[in-house]
Amino acid sequence: MVNAIVRIIRGIFIAWFIKIFATNDIVRYQMLALVAEEINGKKVRGCVAELGVYKGDFAKRINSHFPDKTLYLFDTFNGFDKRDVDIERKLNNNANENDFTNSSVGLVLKKMKYPENCIVQKGWFPETAEHIEETFAFVSIDADLFEPIYQGLLYFYARLEKGGYIFVHDYNGKLYGAKEAVQRFSEEHNVSYVPLSDLCGTVVFSK
């Protein structure tokens, strides 16, 4: 009887631990909070952005940490663009099985603490950024595939303010395109990055 109770309690604890620490990706959330404190404390200029918004769970945290900054939200809001998937296949990489179509602009904006700060750029990146004349203090790139991640690094790093940061998600996940994009950009532009021990292996670029 005692052993059965111990097993039940252990099962409940493991389920709670996985729910809180694994699925919620607490390392990346805490790192965002620390970086935001640095940026806000040093009054780093520029907007903030996320490329690869999906349902807006990370974007809402960016929005909350930067109440005085415009947040650009780049996403198709309709899953992967075929052009990016075709490139991924040519690179012999595995594309994510999740098609990410179960999202919408309305769903994302409802989660924002400061929705008035958000500018939605719906469509294929980098076309959606062609006419934006901004610099950036913080950017999250969570686009899964090689091409949008690589193009995102090219676009945002050139516009990153001194003291700014870029997070790239999925570096150590099952999606090979993310690691390839980070490593190619790093080598081509002679910039280093720091890997985090979060759920899918975010890396951090800074200036």
Half-sphere exposure of 16 (CA within 13 A, CB side): 6
The DSSP secondary structure of 70-124, one letter per residue, reads -EEEEE-SSS--HHHHHHHHHTTPPPPS----S--HHHHHHT-SSGGGEEEEESS
Q: Which residues contact 113 (CB under 8 A, 6 or more apart)?
A: 60, 63, 64, 67
pLDDT at position 200 over 50:
yes
Q: What is the pLDDT of residues 33-87, one digit of tens each?
A: 999 999 999 999 999 999 999 999 999 999 999 999 999 999 999 999 999 988 8
Q: What is the pLDDT of residues 122-143, one digit of tens each?
A: 999 999 999 999 999 999 999 9
pLDDT of residue 197: 87
| Among the four given CATH numbers 1.10.287.130, 3.40.50.150, 3.40.50.20, 3.60.15.10, the one describing domain 25-206 | 3.40.50.150
- Range of weakest confidence among 44-48, 96-100, 174-178, 201-205: 96-100
pLDDT of residue 4: 52
DSSP 183: H
Alpha helix segments (H runs only) across 122-165: 146-158
pLDDT of residue 88: 85
The DSSP element (H or E) to which 197 belongs, if any, is none
pLDDT at position 13 over 50:
no
- Token readout for 62 is 């960016």
pLDDT of residue 15: 45
Q: How far apart are CA 165 and CA 125, in angstroms?
A: 20
pLDDT at position 189 over 50:
yes
CB atoms within 10 A of CB 183: 13
pLDDT at position 175 over 90:
no
> Would you give the end-to-end CA distance of the chain in angstroms?
59
Question: Token match 């890396």: residue?
Answer: 203
pLDDT of residue 11: 52
- Range of weakest confidence among 61-65, 97-101, 106-110: 97-101
CB atoms within 10 A of CB 62: 25
Give φ, ψ of 26 to 5 degrees: -65, -30
Average pLDDT over residues 89-96: 71
Q: How far apart are CA 52 and CA 186, in angstroms?
A: 20
